[in-house]
Amino acid sequence: MRHTLPIAPQFYVTAPQPCPYLDGRMERKLFTALQGEAAAKLNNSLSKQGFRRSQNVLYRPSCADCAACMSARIKVADFTLTRSQKRVIKKNARLQRRATSPWATEDQYTLFREYLESRHATGGMADMDMFEFAAMVEETPIRTRLIEYTEPSEMDPELSAVCLTDVLDDGLSLVYSFFNPSLVGDSLGTYMILDHIEIARQLGLPYVYLGYWVPGSKKMGYKAKFTGLEIFTDGIWMPLGDPESYDAALHPLSSPPIAEQVARINLPTSRS
């Protein structure tokens, strides 16, 4: 199934498959290729419209019977630390941050495998080998950084957490992150988000993009704990407000037809 706009790029729809977030539901994605000289402009523009990047593809949920998945971002200027988040920062103050070009290593892959086997053993990425992992990290046509968090050591630093991060014109986008599962008590997932908020603040970038928030999904519930969170719904960004008020997003009539969704997409012009 294919839908096109009068100008490139072309948009496609995936076949339905079981939803990884809500039991008994089927997911479908609207996607387009990310390539060529205009890749950065396209990524910047579509990221502001709820799309996410995976290697050379931009995608957004477009389910026929559900509109629960909403792109989420933190407005840096509106973010304030909670007491528990201050404790997370203090607990991980020993970690050293290192930002590098997106280049996969064996140490990263070993940590990635440990993370998956502990937390996502039955997920869609569970069978990824080293070559597929390298592709996830290295195949990017835009400005991407690999941010490593290591334990200080007199010898080789021990890798504790990793985040693949895109640098957009208005913020940082956390593409994928993973950490040492034996350090679950250190809340490293939360710490990486907090550190990215600080990086964005230092760079003068207004937003940190977190992927999708899904009401009713325990996997995504942690995102609602960050103040300044905005969600993309009905074509606009708006403050999250009360997370319990989003049950209606599960209603099948919440999702407009594919052709209408594509027609609403704003593409970058040659001057933008």
- pTM, to two decimals: 0.91
Of the two residues 138 and 221, the one the predictor is more confident about is: 138
pLDDT at 121: 58
Tell me: cis bond preceding 257? Omega within 30 of 0 counts.
Answer: no
Q: Which of 118, 215, 43 is CA-nearest to residue 223?
A: 215
Q: Are 177 and 145 in contact (CB under 8 A)?
A: no
pLDDT at 6: 43
Domains of the chain: which residue ranges? 76-203
Of the two residues 35 and 78, the one the predictor is more confident about is: 78
CATH 3.90.1300.10 fits 76-203, yes or no: no
Per-residue pLDDT of 81-95, as tens digits, reads 999 999 999 999 999
Percent of the chain with pLDDT strictly greater than 90: 64
**Average pLDDT, stretch 28-40?**
92
Categorize the per-residue pLDDT at 119 as very low, low, confident or very high, splitting at 50, 70 and 90. Answer: confident
53, amino acid identity: R
Tell me: cis bond preceding 9? Omega within 30 of 0 counts.
Answer: yes
DSSP, res 9: P
- Alpha helix (H) ranges present in the chain? 39-47, 83-91, 106-119, 130-138, 188-203, 258-263
Q: Which of 83, 73, 80 is CA-nearest to residue 212?
A: 73
Categorize the per-residue pLDDT at 248 as very low, low, confident or very high, splitting at 50, 70 and 90. Answer: low
Categorize the per-residue pLDDT at 204 as very low, low, confident or very high, splitting at 50, 70 and 90. Answer: very high
Q: What value does the mean pLDDT of the chain take?
A: 89
Per-residue pLDDT of 165-193, as tens digits, reads 999 999 999 999 999 999 989 999 999 99
**Average pLDDT, stretch 139-150?**
96
| pLDDT above 80 (res 142) | yes
CA distance 57 to 128: 18
| pLDDT above 80 (res 270) | no
**Sheet of 236-239, strands arranged across:** 96-100, 144-151, 158-167, 171-179, 207-213, 70-75, 229-233, 236-239
Q: Are 137 and 103 in contact (CB under 8 A)?
A: yes
| pLDDT above 80 (res 11) | yes
Q: Maximum CA pair distance of the chain?
A: 59
Contacts of 200 (CB under 8 A, 6+ apart): 76, 171, 172, 206, 207, 208
CA distance 163 to 229: 20
Categorize the per-residue pLDDT at 5 as very low, low, confident or very high, splitting at 50, 70 and 90. Answer: very low
pLDDT at 66: 84
pLDDT at 243: 87
